[in-house]
Amino acid sequence: MSEMIQHGRLLARGVARHLLGHDIVTLEEFVPARGLRVDLIGLTPKGEIWVVECKSCRADFMQDSKWQGYLEWCDRFFWAVDADFPVDLLPDDSGLILSDPYDAEILRMAPETPLAPARRRKLTQMFARHAAQRLHLLRDPDARRGFSVSL
């Protein structure tokens, strides 16, 4: 596994821990639509959908050409970076989370851009099904062949 990917996953873990403290449940590596895979998607108690992209370094951010496609799949969009990341690279009109492998802090709340009700319903159902499938695979790893999507 590349060092950038591993670092990104550790940032995602810290963000997930922090968001859980706010009663926001998350899934890593979620696919809202063909060709898109967000690092972390969160579901708030009010039903908001948050997307968090974890960037390990300048090169990781510069290589990402898909992130703007994520905006239409969430109510709020955040970047998660560590303390060494040059935050001046990140767009001001998105949220900012400072993270490490163990915790995180929201430095700038993302502006709210509410999803259409039909898209919110679809994403919430996808979130629930994906979470249930992952839980099922934890209980029964041999059941992987029975799922129609890759997890």
Residue 146: both structure tokens together:
């029975």
- As to burial, measured by CB atoms within 10 angstroms (0-12 exposed, 13-18 middle, 19+ buried), residue 138 is exposed
| Alpha helix (H) residue ranges in 22-79 | 58-63
Please report the pLDDT score of residue 8 as a whole number. 84
Gap between the Cα atoms of 121 and 14, Å rounded: 27
Q: Which is more confident, 147 or 26?
A: 26
- Is residue 94 within 8 A of residue 87, CB to CB? The reply is no
pLDDT digits 0-9 by tens, 80-103: 999 999 999 999 999 999 999 999
Q: Is the pLDDT of residue 58 over 60?
A: yes
Read off the pTM: 0.90
Most confident of 40-44, 58-62, 136-140: 40-44
Report the chain's mean pLDDT, rounded to a whole number: 92
Pairing between β-strand 76-81 and β-strand 49-54 as defined by DSSP bridges: parallel
Please tell me the number of Cα atoms within 13 Å of 45 on its side-chain side: 5
Give 102-151 pLDDT, tens digit per residue. 999 999 999 999 999 999 999 999 999 999 999 999 999 888 776 665 55
pLDDT value at residue 16: 98
Q: Of 15, 7, 31, 14, nearest to 150 (Cα)?
A: 31
- Which domains, and CATH codes, for the chain? 3-114 (3.40.1350)
